[in-house]
Amino acid sequence: MAPAARHQKSRARAIYVLNGPNLNLLGSREPEVYGRTTLAEIGKSVAKRAKSLGFSTVFRQTNSEAELIQWLQEAGQNAAGVILNAAGLSHTSVSLLDAARALRRPLMEVHLSNPYAREKYRHHSFVSEAATGVICGLGADGYLYAIDHLAHLLKGQTA
């Protein structure tokens, strides 16, 4: 296999794990709601699980809606699937919904807390309208379940 083709195939087996605003504060921000696990710890456990299933990860966090949208567009070109925790943008961003709809890749939406047990404005997620599946209220383990499900969906697919 030519080096360029090998590189393209490895990119296609990547799962993008994209995180939105304030998730950089995990472990210290409202631990009674979001838990004490840091985003770096989640990233390590997700990478380990993905590797065991034959995938790599691209794990990112931003406080910028525009950057999150750019990453979704990039994932549409390079990823096998996407896990998205858009945080508060889930409930407010039609632009993020549009980017998710254009993805043409399996998209798992993850929320650490259960938005339905929280304030009413959190009960609607624009991202859910484009998601293959939604995992909420399971804390950091939700990311691992999302990796498992994406691997199941992608099993047998080639680049």
- Of 34, 123, 124, 149, the active-site residue reads 34
Least trusted range by pLDDT, from 5-14, 49-58, 110-119, 121-130: 5-14
Query: Can 111 be counted among the known catalytic residues?
Result: yes
pLDDT score of 88: 87
- Of 7, 16, 91, 111, the active-site residue reads 111
Region 33-37: what's the mean pLDDT?
76
Q: Is residue 97 part of a domain?
A: yes
Question: Within the chain, how many helices (H) and strands (E) appear?
Answer: 6, 5
What does the DSSP assignment read for 117-150?
A: GS-GGGS--TGGGT-SEEEESSTTHHHHHHHHHH
Q: Are strands 14-19 and 56-61 parallel, antiparallel or unpaired?
A: parallel
Backbone angles phi, psi at 57, to 5 degrees: -130, 150
pLDDT score of 1: 39
Q: Is residue 109 part of a domain?
A: yes
Distance CA 43, CA 31 (A): 18
pLDDT tens track for 119-155: 786 777 989 899 999 999 999 999 999 999 999 999 8
pLDDT tens track for 65-98: 999 999 999 999 999 999 999 998 998 899 999 9
Residue positions counted in the chain:
159
Domain that holds residue 119: 3-154
Please state the pTM of the whole predicted model.
0.86
Backbone angles phi, psi at 69, to 5 degrees: -65, -45
CATH code of the domain containing 125? 3.40.50.9100
Ranges assigned E (strand) in the chain: 14-19, 56-61, 81-85, 107-111, 133-136
Q: Is residue 132 part of a domain?
A: yes
> Per the structure, how many domains does the chain have?
1
Q: Is residue 126 part of a domain?
A: yes
Q: Is residue 159 part of a domain?
A: no
Instruction: Tell me which long-range contacts 35-44 makes (C-beta under 8 A, separation of at least 24).
Output: 35/112, 35/139, 35/140, 37/139, 37/140, 41/140, 42/140, 42/143, 43/17
